[in-house]
Chains A and B, each alone.
Chain A
Amino acid sequence: MNLTLRIWRQKNANTPGEFVTYEAKDVSPDMSFLEMLDVVNEELMRRGEEPIAFDNDCREGICGMCSLMINGVPHGPLPQTATCQLHMRVYKDGDAITIEPWRAAPFPVIKDLIVDRSAFDRIIQSGGYVSVSTGGAPDGNTLPIPKDDADRAFDAAACIGCGACVAACKNASAVLFTSAKISHLALMPQGKVEQDRRVLKMVAQMDEEGFGACTNIGSCEAACPKGITLDNIARMNRLYLKASVKSGLE
């Protein structure tokens, strides 16, 4: 199939960008979206032009590096599918596809479609850890943990930190990511110990980075490639309230 791509090109963080239109010819429906871009890039390089820069690493939906706003939806049209797992069979011959970087003030564009997601790293650094060594897998298995808690923690831990939630939010809010990271630790006995200070610090860092607030619309949940749910945000809201009250009383 042949496609018309409208792609954001930007030399670096300090240069204004613009959309450039490319024709992608003979695209196979079996290609992934990123392979399709690889083919476009090979053609650009043959012509001696600068290839389109985009983030990617594992290409199997587990690392969180790939991104891309595809026709106004993060990671494209398929639910719970990262861009690297999106295949061209969802498109048909003649389709026009607009490809943009994540847009959020805390995610500045580095080049073309690549944004700097270090803001997420700083949120993790502010409290997304357990301070003491809790041992290896055998030690973990000796602790009885209710199945429901284990399942919920595991679901929250599925977050790959891609930033699609921020990209999808009309307020560019990072609450889905932050709440997933807070939840997966708070639901485990090893993480409970530090849960109050963790939630206070991670929320403070999230605000510090300049993300927006949550209007409880749910676009993040719809866009998330890993099925992280709004329940995590509700849990974070509860934990933050509890930690705030406690910090004022104790």
Chain B
Amino acid sequence: MAATARSLRASFSGVLMRLWRSSLGKKYVMAVTGLILFAFVVGHLLGNLLIFAGRTQINEYAQVLKSNLPLLWSARLVLLVSVVLHVVAASQLAHTDRRARRIRYSKFHILDSTLANRTLIVSGLVILGFVIFHLAQFTLLVVDRSYATLVDAAGRHDVHRMMIEGFQNPVVSVFYIISVALLSLHLSHGVASSFQSLGARSKKIEWNLKRVSLIVAIVLFAGFASIPVAVLTGLVK
């Protein structure tokens, strides 16, 4: 315990290991990976909304995305590593938190809590399940293999048709809408929380931070949900 200043110094990898083992460091990992995934989610939504611009636009966008293989795979690697770290850190933190209170209260109010921050693990797990299904359906094309053969007039993969066929299934659409609702709930706490975890929050900016988090979450939900709704109502054909 009588560690000197010298013994607190460490190699670069030693510091990374110490961070990973500490509760604060693991929250840095949660925050950074959460923000990376959040940035992806925003970009992904903007791309998806091209479905409203028309078949040519979204199919061309999809083709451009997949044309630069090194870039595509670097991005996929960053996302995969982020998801894995986020989920592993989340489950380890949840384990520590449970062990820190083995005997429960008979009466307990979680003061100042919100639905969003009481249910992060539940929303997270549903998101995880959704992401796996979503990748299987639209990236790996293994849910309906006929998606692989959809081609538009210009000979590109017909992403527009694939999205419409996918969301015409009400079960798929409802699962999608529930999942993006839970993602929004997750982020309504998560965005502001990651600033606090990284030390970038104070009373002075708290109100704005919380408001921005909430608005971002609502806008994300409206944006994502608009696509299956547009398909189911025949707005996009």
Contacts and interface: CB of A to CB of B under 8 A. Distances in A.
Contact of B24 (A126, A221, A237): A237
Contacts of A245: 15
Contacts of A222: 111-112
Nearest to B193: A216
B50 interface: no
A11 interface: no
A103 interface: yes
Nearest to B102: A105
Interface residues of B, number: 54
B8 A200 contact: yes
Nearest to B15: A248
A207 B110 CA distance: 22
Interface string A227-238: 001110111111
Contact of A212 (B12, B25, B101, B189): B101
Interface stretch (A53-61, A82-90, A166-174): A166-174
Contact of A98 (B9, B15, B97, B107): B107
A140 B107 CA distance: 46
B108 A213 contact: no
- Which interface residue of A6, A98, A103, A104 has the most chain B CB atoms within 10 A? A103
A240 B19 CA distance: 9
B173 interface: no
Interface in B185-210: 189, 192-193, 196-203
Given A215-B120, A219-B112, A244 B25 contact: yes
Nearest to B1: A126
B151 to A, nearest CB: 48
Pairs of residues from A and B, 9 with the lowest C-beta to C-beta distance, nearest first: A238-B199, A248-B15, A212-B100, A171-B97, A72-B107, A237-B199, A172-B100, A222-B111, A212-B97
Given A234-B200, A241-B28, A241-B199, A106 B11 contact: no
9 contacts: A105-B99, A170-B108, A206-B23, A210-B100, A211-B23, A216-B193, A229-B203, A235-B199, A238-B199
Contacts of B99: 105, 210, 212
Contact of B199 (A6, A218, A234): A234
Contact of A105 (B100, B110, B111): B100
A250 B15 CA distance: 12
A172 B110 CA distance: 11
- Which interface residue of A106, A200, A210 has the most chain B CB atoms within 10 A? A200
Given A72-B107, A98-B106, A203-B24, A234 B117 contact: no
Nearest to B120: A215
B3 interface: yes
A49 B137 CA distance: 69
A173 B100 CA distance: 8
Nearest to A237: B199
Contacts of B106: 6, 19, 98, 100
Interface in A184-225: 196-197, 200-201, 203-207, 210-219, 221-223
